[in-house]
Structure formats: C-alpha cells, structure tokens
Chains A and B, each alone.
Chain A
Amino acid sequence: MPALSTDRQNVIVLVVLLVSQLLLMSSSARRESAPALESWVMRLSWPAVRLAQFGAGALRRGSTDAGHLLAAHARNAALENRVRRLSDELVRYRESESENRRLRNLLGMREGLAPESIAASIVTSNLSGPTRMIIVDRGRADGVRLDLAVVAWGGVVGRVVAVDERHAKIRLLTDANSGVAGIVQRSRVRGIVEGRGARTLYLLYVPRFADAIHGDRVVTSGQDGIFPRGFGIGRVAAIHESPDGTQTIHLEAELGYDSLEEVLILLGPGPGEFETAETDTSGDAP
C-alpha cells in the first residue's frame, strides 16, 4: 500500500477535525455530549485562566494604587506650591520686618538729630489784652527750665518764663514783651520780631532799603540764642518806613494761637548753644 502524501494526510486530518467539530456542534445543539468535553477543556485550561485572573487583578490593583499615587503626587505638588508660596510670603514678611527695623532706626536717628523735646498740654491760657501766655502741664520735674523755646506744628509759640515742679508758664510770641531774632527767608534780611498783644507781629530794625515784599516768610534766625533757626514766625503783611530810617514790617503770625492745645518744649540745646549771637538780642530778652 503506497504511503499517503503529506497533503493527503493533511486533508484527512482536516476532514476528521472538521467532522469532529460538526459532531460537537450537532451534539451541542442536542445537548448531549458537548458539555462533558467543554467541562474537560475548562478543567484543563483553568490554571491559565486563573493565572490571567490573578495577573489582571494585580494589574488592576496596581493601576488603582498608581492612580492613588498620582493623586497623592498631585496633592503633594499642590501642597508644595502652597508651601513655596507661604515661604515666599514669609520671606517678604521678614523683609518687611527688616525694613521696619531700618526705618525705626532711621526715625530714631532723626529724633536724635532733632533737639530733645517734650510735649506738653495747655492747662490754661490768657490770650486777651497785651498779655499773651499759656500754662502747660510740664515743669521742673520734666526737665523744663527758664528760657526754653516752645514751638508747635507750624512755628514758634514762645518761651518759658516761669517754671515750678509740675507746670511752666510760657510767654507767647504775640505778648507785648516778647521778642525773637527773625530773618526774611527769601532775602536773608534780619531783624527782631516783637509782639504787641495782638495777632500781628512786627519785624523791627530792618534797614530801609532791605529787600522784603508782601508775602515773604519770616523764620527764626537762631541768633537770639533761644530759638533754633528755621521755625516759622509769620508772613509779611505790610511794610512801613520808620522815622529813624528803618522799616517796620507787619507780620501775620503763622500760628493760630487761639487754637493751640499741645506744644513742644525744646529741652536742648540750651540758650546760646544754637548759634553765636552776632547782633543785639536784647529785644528778645525776657
């Protein structure tokens, strides 16, 4: 019997297999033996499916964990951003604190450069007639002494003419007995400012041809040895020629003495320490 060729053998195998499958399908349709074969195949291949189930479960758990990890990573990134932002804010706060400290030092330096002073509240005042004075709640116990200059925001108030332990009497610049060395700020013309018991002040002993015009500002010159230079006194309101060949300049006082509530007593430097007197300041003497 001649041997079958490979092709024929294959065809025979094919036919056998196909017929077997057809029988399987047929029996499956009639509900006969197919379930038995199916259960056998299932039993044999179960380990592979179990392995797949296990692997897929592990993969799913891993992906879930990875998802949680990613979410945690995102939260972590958000928190890191927040920490970074807060750190930046902290740096800014520290910088502000440093700046604050520097400014405080600067302010302290400014206060150090300025004359030592003490604030005082007005206890009582007399602003009528030729006498213009106030009494403040600072006295010898606070370092107040005679002839100290008293100023307020905007200009000269007056000077201390009497002092006890707790109070001090201050003669205002508008008092008829007051006097202070003044200078026209624009032209540097000097003179003596006196009060006459009214709001108007007078700049005396100004040469006839001195340069002073209406509106010029007059400030302390510092030459009287009591008031530091530069404090405002008043503005030129009128100019009159005097018989003695000088000018008398009427000044509108810069301060509203009627409305004073607090003043600043300049504790130092003392009289004569501001500037060496070049001219006669007798008119300013108490």
Chain B
Amino acid sequence: MSFLRALVVLASALVLQAGVGHLWPASHRFIDVLLVPVALYGLNGSQRSAMLMGCASGLLRDTWFQTGAFGLNGFKRTLLGWAMGSLARRVDMNRGPGRLVAGVVVSFGDDLLDLVLRRLLDQPVQFPYLWELLVKAGVTGLLVTLAGAIVDRVTNRRPGRRIV
C-alpha cells in the first residue's frame, strides 16, 4: 500500500513538473516539483522511504529533465532524503512552518549538492543567480507546505503525526 501510495505521489509530481515545463519551459529553474516527495517523506521521519523516494525522484529528473551524468540527481536526492529523514527524527517539522522550512532547506541542499558533485565529477558548472535560488527555495517550500496540507486532508490525519 505504501509502495502504491509512493508511486502515486511520484507520478503526480512528475505530471505536475512535466505539465508546468510544457506550459513554461523556463520553469525548471524555479520549480522542482520532484523535490516535494523527498521532503514530504523525509518529514515523516522515515529515512529509508525518503532515500528511496529521493533515488526515484532523482532518476526521473535525470531521465526527463536533465542531461549529463545519469544518476547525479538520484545520488544527491538519496542523500537529501537521508538527511531530511534524519533531521525529522530529531525535530518535528511536519507542520505548516516546518514544512516550509523543510522545502527551503531541501531546495538549497539540492542546489548546493549539485554544484559540489558537478565540480567533483568535472562536469560543466553554471552558478545560478542568488535570486533564482531564493525563488526556487521559496516555491519549493510553498509546494511542500501545500502538498503536506493535501496529504493531511486526504489521509484525514492531524499535522505532526507520522504516517510512514
């Protein structure tokens, strides 16, 4: 059931990301919907689920929205999922403001890891503008907050309880 739910969440994120990209091709610089499942699963405190979700999310991103080293996004998002799960086990962030912060942190972490890994792999690096990072982080935070609220509504549970 959890696996099926994860598939639905991941597919939904992919549909949204592809749909937004279809409507607005430049949106990938500011919107990364595929980060949302990683943050949400990490907030639930399950490191393993978050890591698996990060791996799958990264592979999807590598497949559909990125060129270069295949597995790069999977690598960093696996790491992000682990880190987020680890953080959420210590601090309960699964509420509105916490979700917002988690989204922002995941977004910044993703960009930072991307820069570092590309530099390590000797891949071409293009430093993004700070305002782009800020916008992307803000959008991701909002998306995580919104998605968390939707999950709360769908699963009919109060914020803060872990479901995974």
Chain A interfacial positions (CB closer than 8 Å to B): 9-10, 13-14, 17-18, 20-25, 28-29, 34-35, 37-38, 41-42, 45, 48-49, 51-53, 55-57, 59-60
The 9 closest A-B pairs by CB, nearest first: A24-B71, A52-B18, A21-B75, A56-B22, A28-B70, A52-B19, A25-B71, A21-B71, A34-B70
B contact residues, total (Cβ < 8 Å) = 32
Q: Which of B22, B63, B75, B121 contacts A42 (CB under 8 A)?
A: B63
Q: Which residue of B lies closest to A23 (CB)?
A: B71
Q: From residue B84, how far is it (CB to closest CB) to chain A in Å?
A: 12
Q: Is the CB–CB distance between B63 and A52 below 8 Å?
A: no
Which of B47-55, B98-106, B125-133, B145-153 lies at the binding interface? B47-55
Q: From residue B39, how far is it (CB to closest CB) to chain A in Å?
A: 17
Distance between Cα atoms of A17 and B55 in the complex (Å): 7
Q: Which residue of B lies closest to A50 (CB)?
A: B18
- Contact flags (1/0) for B45-76 with A, using CB distance below 8 Å? 00110011001001110111000011110110
Main SS of chain A's interface residues?
helix
- Residue numbers in A under 8 Å from B60 (CB-CB): 41, 45
Q: Please tell me if B78 contacts chain A, counting CB pairs below 8 Å.
A: yes
- Residue numbers in B under 8 Å from A59 (CB-CB): 19, 23
Main SS of chain B's interface residues?
helix
Pick 14 A–B contacts, CB within 8 A, sort by A.
A10-B47, A13-B52, A20-B55, A21-B58, A21-B71, A34-B71, A37-B59, A41-B59, A42-B63, A49-B64, A52-B15, A52-B22, A53-B18, A53-B22
Among A9, A38, A49, chain B packs the most CB atoms within 10 A around the CB of A49
Q: Is the CB–CB distance between A24 and B70 below 8 Å?
A: yes
Q: Is the CB–CB distance between A45 and B63 below 8 Å?
A: yes
- Residue numbers in A under 8 Å from B163 (CB-CB): none
Q: Which of B23, B59, B63, B79 contacts A18 (CB under 8 A)?
A: B79
Q: Is the CB–CB distance between A38 and B70 below 8 Å?
A: yes
Distance between Cα atoms of A59 and B15 in the complex (Å): 13
Q: From residue A214, how far is it (CB to closest CB) to chain B in Å?
A: 99
**Interface members, chain B 11-50 (any A CB < 8 Å):** 11, 14-20, 22-23, 47-48
Distance between Cα atoms of A45 and B61 in the complex (Å): 11
Q: From residue A38, how far is it (CB to closest CB) to chain B in Å?
A: 5
For the A-B complex with A17-B55, A17-B74 known, give 15 more contacts whose Cβ atoms are closer than 8 Å: A14-B47, A18-B79, A20-B55, A22-B71, A24-B70, A25-B121, A34-B71, A45-B60, A48-B14, A49-B15, A51-B15, A52-B14, A52-B22, A55-B15, A56-B20
- Residue numbers in B under 8 Å from A51 (CB-CB): 15
Distance between Cα atoms of A59 and B70 in the complex (Å): 31
